[in-house]
Structure 1
Amino acid sequence: MKTETLLNDGTISLRALEPSDLDAMIRWENDTRLWSAGSQGAPLSRHAIAEYIANYDADLFAARQLRLIVVENATGNAAGAVDLYDFDPLSLRAGIGIIIDENARGHGFGTRALTLLWQYASLHLGMNQLWAMTAIDNTAACHAFTSAGFTTAGRLRSWIRRGRQWVDALMFQRLNIEA
């Protein structure tokens, strides 16, 4: 029996947020080591994250953001999350972000999640391109984006602040060549 679908490659699945994701999201959102990878700069309360989950709108065109949970099919556990953000409905492009739980890293889930989200965005939503920024020294993220078909589109000097230091960032891009 074939288990692959648009949001399932047999090893992982992407699904909507559930109330049961609260503890994992608190862990990810409040991990200060991850804050330089996004725009988070202060801890979020359990209440704030629970409200986010309860009021989440998965309509990318209305909310301009789409967050999906990465699930390891073999265990049913949340292995991470992927986001489309800064959605531009005119140019049909968005930023893409990813977090893989510390306990789930090293199994290729990041590459698989990026590939599934790209397929969903291009085939189902008709998007023309996705882009991402990552610190140049985040070798796991750089490898995952490259392995998922993204190409390096540029380098931004001193783009990411880490305390009193600045790190260069790489911009990755994946285009729908049939557009």
Structure 2
Amino acid sequence: MTLLRDDLIQLRAIEPEDLDVLYRWENNADWWEVGDTLAPFSKYVLREYIAESHRDIYDLKQLRLIIEHRKDQKAAGLMDLFNFDPHHSRAAMGMLVDPAYQHQGIGRRALKLTLEYGFSFLKLHQLYVHIPAQNTASLQLFLTNGFEIQGTLKDWLHTTEGYKDVLVLQRIRAQEKKRD
């Protein structure tokens, strides 16, 4: 497997041609309550974001990649590494898979590629994620890929249905076997 690509998907830099799909995803108010978005993004702001996205993770402390379906060469989602801390060798993760591409194994593949990139190329010691407790699909995805629940943030998300708990999951890079 090549870094950031397998036979179905590739993780790639954001391109100016991604503006319309980013605009649609970022302005989907149904997803705002699991993030920090409180208002829509303009196309101008997103254009500026794309123009600055060439800066590296050490500069921005974030890396956002498009999950591209290789067969149709369309954006199928986003993979984020953020809160990057080079001193402590850790980063948070976030993922969005467009509803049109869900239930096709794309999230699992994107997670696997990101873990490989984070642990082997960036030399991270750990990756962590915050997942709403009721999001069983995401919990299952991360748990089956070596993440462990480390705690619960009570009433962490204010939603239209009231406050919701968030689970903190963490995966620590497997230690190399000591050679005698």
- Superposition TM-score, scaled by structure 2 size: 0.93
SS in 2 for 1:36: helix
**Could you tell me how far apart the structure 2 residues matched to 1:44 and 1:112 are?**
29
1:62-81 to 2 correspondences below 5 Å: 62-81=59-78
From 134, 138, 148, the counterpart of 2:135: 138
**Could you tell me how far apart the structure 1 residues matched to 2:7 and 2:144 are?**
18
**Could you tell me how far apart the structure 1 residues matched to 2:10 and 2:144 are?**
18
Q: 1:69·1:81 contact (CA, 8 Å) conserved in 2?
A: yes
| Structure 1: 4+ residue segments shifted above 6 A | none
Q: 1:17·1:69 contact (CA, 8 Å) conserved in 2?
A: yes
1:9-158 to 2 correspondences below 5 Å: 9-158=6-155
Q: 31-40 or 122-131, which moves further after superposition?
A: 31-40
SS in 1 for 2:137: helix
Q: 1:22·1:50 contact (CA, 8 Å) conserved in 2?
A: yes
Number of residue-to-residue matches in the alignment: 176
**Could you tell me how far apart the structure 2 residues matched to 1:124 and 1:59 are?**
13
The AA in structure 1 aligned to 2:108 is T
CA RMSD of aligned residues (A): 1.3
Assess, with a 3 A threshold, how the Cα gap between structure 1 residues 108 and 58 changes in structure 2: closer, same or farther: farther
- Superposition TM-score, scaled by structure 1 size: 0.94
- 1:11: how far off? 1.2
**Could you tell me how far apart the structure 1 residues matched to 2:157 and 2:109 are?**
26
Q: 1:112·1:148 contact (CA, 8 Å) conserved in 2?
A: no
The AA in structure 1 aligned to 2:83 is D
Larger Rg: 2
**Could you tell me how far apart the structure 2 residues matched to 1:164 and 1:113 are?**
30
The AA in structure 2 aligned to 1:37 is V
Percent sequence identity is 38
Q: 1:130·1:174 contact (CA, 8 Å) conserved in 2?
A: yes
